[in-house]
């Protein structure tokens, strides 16, 4: 199944070289810098996110053309949410899972989507994720840490002066991610299954 491109968002980020667990810049530092950027119009935000975050997991992510920097996602009520934006030009995700839980008048309702099993990973082009949390063991090739966000080697770029990092390739095993947004020019989900739940069944 293929999903068309949604829209575009931007941001700042943090990780490490070698085989590591991904980490985030201290939240207070990121928030202060990004909120100031929004006030000055330095960090553009292009679409409104929903009022709740969702989970993404994968047994393995393999990608080429990676960058990460910081930014802000805005909801429909005008609230700002600090995010780390990760861009991957081409990605494969094995055993992909996405789950979201929403409060409704009838109680909690969850949506659980799985794909990319049985050795046929889900694939994405121009993948961009606005996240607040990430766990996994990662390995990068030709990583640059501390590059200016406006000079990353991906099509999507951050604001001049912002901290960023980029790499030729990225590999993450045991990926667990909490995000406000995910978008791609093409997202192919092989063997996709969608399940409505009572909210107790999530990706992790």
Confidence band, pLDDT 50/70/90 cuts, at residue 78? confident
**Inside any domain, residue 22:** yes
Give the chain's end-to-end CA distance (angstroms, integer).
24
Verify that 25 and 102 share a domain, yes or no.
no
d(CA 120, CA 1): 13
pLDDT, residue 20, reads: 35
Residue span of the structural domain in which 14 resides: 4-40
Above 80 in pLDDT, residue 127? yes
Measured over all CA atoms, what is the biggest interatomic distance in the chain, rounded to whole angstroms?
50
- Distance of alpha carbon 56 from alpha carbon 71, whole angstroms: 19
Residue 203 included in any domain: no
d(CA 180, CA 165): 21
Examine the domain organization and report whether 177 and 86 are in the same domain: yes
Region 42-62: mean pLDDT is 76
pLDDT at 38 over 60: no
As for how many domains the chain has, the answer is 2
Same domain, 78 and 130: yes
One domain, residues 26 and 60: no
Rounded Cα distance between 66 and 141, Å, is 10
Kindly state whether residues 80 and 144 are assigned to the same domain: yes
In a domain, residue 113? The reply is yes
- Phi-psi region at 126: left, alpha or beta (left = phi > 0; alpha = psi -120 to 50): left
Pairing of strands 186-188, 193-197: unpaired
pLDDT for 76 equals 84
Q: Are residues 16 and 58 in the same domain?
A: no
Question: Is there a single domain that holds both residue 34 and residue 62?
Answer: no
Specify whether 21 is located in the same domain as 68: no
* Residue 48 pLDDT: 65
Q: Do residues 85 and 120 make contact, with C-beta atoms less than 8 angstroms apart?
A: no
**160 part of a folded domain:** yes
The answer as to whether 46 is a domain residue is no
- Is the same domain home to 21 and 100? no
Residues 59 and 159 in one domain: yes
Co-location of 32 and 60 in the same domain: no
Whether residue 47 lies inside any domain: the answer is no
- Tell me whether residue 117 is in a domain: yes
Compute the average pLDDT of residues 94-121: 96
Is the residue at 34 inside a domain? yes
| Apex 106 CA angle, 52 and 55, nearest 5 | 25
The pTM score is 0.78
Q: Do residues 94 and 36 both lie within one domain?
A: no
Cα(203)–Cα(112) distance, rounded to whole angstroms? Answer: 8
């Amino acid at each position: 199944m293929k999903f068309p491109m949604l829209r575009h968002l931007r941001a700042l980020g943090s990780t490490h070289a070698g085989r590591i667990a991904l980490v985030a810049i201290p939240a207070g530092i990121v928030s202060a810098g990004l909120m100031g950027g929004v006030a000055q119009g330095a960090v553009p935000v292009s679409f409104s996110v929903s009022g709740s975050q969702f989970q993404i997991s994968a047994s393995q992510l393999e990608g080429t053309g990676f960058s990460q920097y910081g930014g802000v996602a805005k909801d429909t009520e005008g609230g700002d949410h600090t995010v780390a934006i990760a861009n991957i030009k081409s990605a494969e995700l094995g055993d992909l899972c996405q789950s979201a839980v929403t409060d409704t008048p009838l109680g909690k309702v969850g949506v659980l989507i799985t794909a990319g099993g049985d050795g046929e990973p889900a694939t994405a082009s121009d993948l961009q994720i606005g996240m607040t949390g990430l766990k996994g063991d990662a390995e990068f090739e030709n990583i640059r840490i501390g590059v200016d966000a406006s000079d990353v080697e991906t099509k999507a770029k951050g604001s001049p002066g912002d901290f960023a990092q980029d790499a030729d390739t990225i590999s993450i095993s045991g990926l667990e991610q909490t995000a406000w947004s995910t978008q791609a020019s093409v997202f192919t989900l092989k063997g996709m299954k969608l399940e409505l739940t009572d909210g107790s069944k999530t990706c992790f």
